[in-house]
């Protein structure tokens, strides 16, 4: 995808220039850095989509830089190194690298690997951004598209409003909703302090999804504040 930004970090300027030449021909924007500290400054302050990182850098080495980058972003990192030993590769991958290429290398191979890593990263990012249509919390399954709830694999009937209450809470685990806010959001009218409607719906839901409605594990009451869905029940 043209316009994606690649950071090349290598203390040999010639390598940066070579990769810049090949990658810009493919439509990528290329930024170069000669040392690890400059690379970290760029990653911290600019949008980078992939990093090509030399292992042997002055000052901070590539492994240290990779460890620091992984605290900032999860973009693909491709290591370059004149060392081809298995232990060096293992260290690079363990630090958070996605690939390891030994020098001397073919620029065309670098381009091919860059394309592959960016393609996979885009697909993974898209999957993360797309909200799940089915929520699973241990023995509870909520199908948001089909408006179906299953407990221990068996479908249980919830009224339309009960399903709305449950799905709202489950999509916002550990967020506390007051009874007033639930009523106004789901019933589309001012509660005027009448929270009994919400209490009845919460009670009905608990009877249908909890093992012991008197000691609920999913929908918890937060004294003086409202209700929340127990996020620790996530699979």
Q: How confident is the model at residue 135 (pLDDT cuts 50, 70, 90)?
A: very high
- Per CATH, 5-129 and 134-233 having the same topology is answered no
Task: Determine the average pLDDT of the residues in 136-164.
Answer: 93
Lowest mean pLDDT among 119-123, 126-130, 139-143: 126-130
Round to whole Å and give the CA distance between 64 and 77.
Answer: 13
Task: Order across the sheet with 5-9: list the strands.
Answer: 29-33, 5-9, 50-54, 77-81, 99-102
Calculate mean pLDDT across residues 32-46.
95
Please say if the pLDDT value at position 70 is more than 80. yes
- pLDDT tens column, 101-114: 988 899 999 999 99
User: What's the Rg (C-alpha) of the chain?
Assistant: 26
Query: Which of these ranges, 62-66, 118-122, 151-155, has the smallest mean pLDDT?
Result: 118-122
CATH for 5-129 is 3.40.50.2300
Reading the block at residue 18, the tokens are 């070579």
pLDDT for residue 130 is more than 70: no
Asked if 229 and 176 count as a contact pair (C-beta separation under 8 A), the reply is: no
When the pLDDT of each residue in the chain is averaged and rounded to a whole number, the result is: 90
Tell me, which fold does domain 134-233 have in CATH? Arc Repressor Mutant, subunit A (1.10.10)
Spans of all domains in the chain? 5-129, 134-233
pLDDT band at 1 (very low <50, low <70, confident <90, very high): very low
pTM listed for this prediction: 0.57
pLDDT at position 187 is 83
- pLDDT of the residue at 158: 92
Number of Cβ within a 10 Å radius of residue 220: 16
Overall average pLDDT of the 175-200 stretch: 85
């Amino acid at each position: 995808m043209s316009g994606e930004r690649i950071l090349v970090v290598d203390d040999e300027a010639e390598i940066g220039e070579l990769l810049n030449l090949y990658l810009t021909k493919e439509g990528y924007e290329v930024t170069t850095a000669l040392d690890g500290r400059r690379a970290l400054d760029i990653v911290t302050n600019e949008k980078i989509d992939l990093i090509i990182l030399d292992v042997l850098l002055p000052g901070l080495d590539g492994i240290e830089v990779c460890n620091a980058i992984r605290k900032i972003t999860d973009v693909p990192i491709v290591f370059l190194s004149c060392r081809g030993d298995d232990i060096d590769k293992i260290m690079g991958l363990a630090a958070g690298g996605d690939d390891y290429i030994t020098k001397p290398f073919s620029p065309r191979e670098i381009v091919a690997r860059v394309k592959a890593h960016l393609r996979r990263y885009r697909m993974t990012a898209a999957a993360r951004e797309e909200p799940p249509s089915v929520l699973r919390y241990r023995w509870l399954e909520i199908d948001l598209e089909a408006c179906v709830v299953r407990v221990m694999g068996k479908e249980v009937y919830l009224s339309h409003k009960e399903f709305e209450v449950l799905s709202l809470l489950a999509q916002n685990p550990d967020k506390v909703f007051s009874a007033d806010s639930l009523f106004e959001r789901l019933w589309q009218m001012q509660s005027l302090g009448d929270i009994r409607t919400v209490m009845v719906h919460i009670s009905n839901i608990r009877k249908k999804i909890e093992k012991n409605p008197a000691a609920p594990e999913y929908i918890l009451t937060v004294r003086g504040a409202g209700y929340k869905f127990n996020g620790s029940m996530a699979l």
